[in-house]
Structure formats: C-alpha cells, structure tokens
A and B are shown apart, each in its own frame.
Chain A
Amino acid sequence: LAKTTQPISMDSYEGQEVNITCSHNNIATNDYITWYQQFPSQGPRFIIQGYKTKVTNEVASLFIPADRKSSTLSLPRVSLSDTAVYYCLVVLDTGFQKLVFGTGTRLLVSP
C-alpha cells in the first residue's frame, strides 16, 4: 500500500482558503486518492476522492497532477467548524483493502 506524507498541522483563519498537500510517491495505477475529515470523538467522514486532474464537490476540491505523486485538498473559505484532522489515503478502486491512516493533518481555524 502506498504510504502518504502530509503536514502534521496547519493554522488558518476564518474565510481563508486552505490547501493541504499530500505526497504519495509510490501510488499504483489502480489507486485512488481519498481524503477523510475527522472531528474529535467522531469517526472519519469521507470528503472527496479522485484519480487525476481535478475533482470538486460541495465541500472541497482535489487537485492531482499528471504524475499523481502528490495531491492537494483545497478547502474554500474555511470556518471554525472546519477545525479537524484531515487524512489523505491511497485506496484501491475495487476489492478489499486495509485503509492505512497516518497521523493526518490537524487543521486549526481561528476567528
């Protein structure tokens, strides 16, 4: 399973755009990039998943360059409620897999 590397923590202010970059140098052809958000004492919540280029949903955007060795989660205009831990994972498209979580990026949004 591809290992991911992401910053341990980031700070931001309300209304700013936050970009969290994740590196996954050993990503395989059949791997997707998936991001989860986790609030204290809650389970991880799926945010977004992509294979290449750009994916956007109502919560975030995911930018993936052509070599797919990294990806960037973009959170537009963050609010205090976006304070959470964000996990970047590389997952198979189909079939059983063990999700391998790192320690994630702890995002703190201040007023």
Chain B
Amino acid sequence: DTGVSQNPRHKITKRGQNVTFRCDPISEHNRLYWYRQTLGQGPEFLTYFQNEAQLEKSRLLSDRFSAERPKGSFSTLEIQRTEQGDSAMYLCASSPQRSGNTIYFGEGSWLTVV
C-alpha cells in the first residue's frame, strides 16, 4: 500500500535551528497539502499545491516557513530559526483531481523544539 509517506517521523531540534520535512504523496495525486496539529486540537491547514504550483497559503505559514514541490511529486516543508511554538505534528496529505475529493493523510512528522 503506497500511501502518503513522511520523513522523518520524529525530529528534536534546538531552538534557532532549521528543520526540513519531506512528503511523498500517493502516486498520481496532483494535489498536496500540509497541515499542522498540536496536542488536543484538530489539524490546521498550512498550504496547498496543485502539481508544482503553491496555490494557497495560510496566515499560519509565517515567513520562517517555506514549502516546495519542485517537480510536482514530493514536497518539502522547511522551518527556519525554529521556535518552541513550532513544536507540533506536521501532516502531509494528497488527493487526486477528480470528483469524490477524498484527502489522504500521511502518518505525520513530529517536531519538538527544545
């Protein structure tokens, strides 16, 4: 089962360091999403790609955050100068461009900033 794959699953970093997460969507899914989830809350939308184009960004995505999907396949989410408030689970999801529009999530990447 080639679901949405995220790496690394866990990352502990010191405040001020940069971190990068990778997401490999389900094959042939041209839509890719990043969400963030903190303890006790539901996931919150961060950004959306259709193929390689980043079409939507949340206000939650400060200028320290950057996401790319250079060839319309995998995506990376980089957080620069991490802060303790960045500690969360970062979820990647993908969906095909057809009706039914079911969005499939990966297992998430946990970030702990110490």
Contact = CB atoms under 8 A, between A and B. Distances in A.
Interface of A: 32, 34, 36, 41-46, 49, 87, 91-104
B101 A43 contact: no
Interface of B: 4, 31, 33, 35, 40-45, 48, 50, 55-56, 58, 89, 91, 93, 98-108, 110
Contacts of B102: 34, 46, 49
Given A96-B56, A98-B56, A104-B42, A41 B105 contact: no
27 contacts: A36-B105, A41-B108, A42-B107, A43-B4, A43-B105, A43-B107, A46-B105, A87-B42, A91-B103, A92-B101, A93-B99, A93-B100, A94-B98, A95-B101, A96-B48, A96-B55, A96-B56, A97-B101, A98-B56, A98-B58, A99-B45, A99-B103, A101-B41, A101-B42, A101-B43, A103-B41, A103-B42
B35 to A, nearest CB: 8
Which of B4, B42, B104, B106 has the most CB atoms of chain A within a 10 A radius of its CB? B42
Interface secondary structure of A, over-half rule? loop
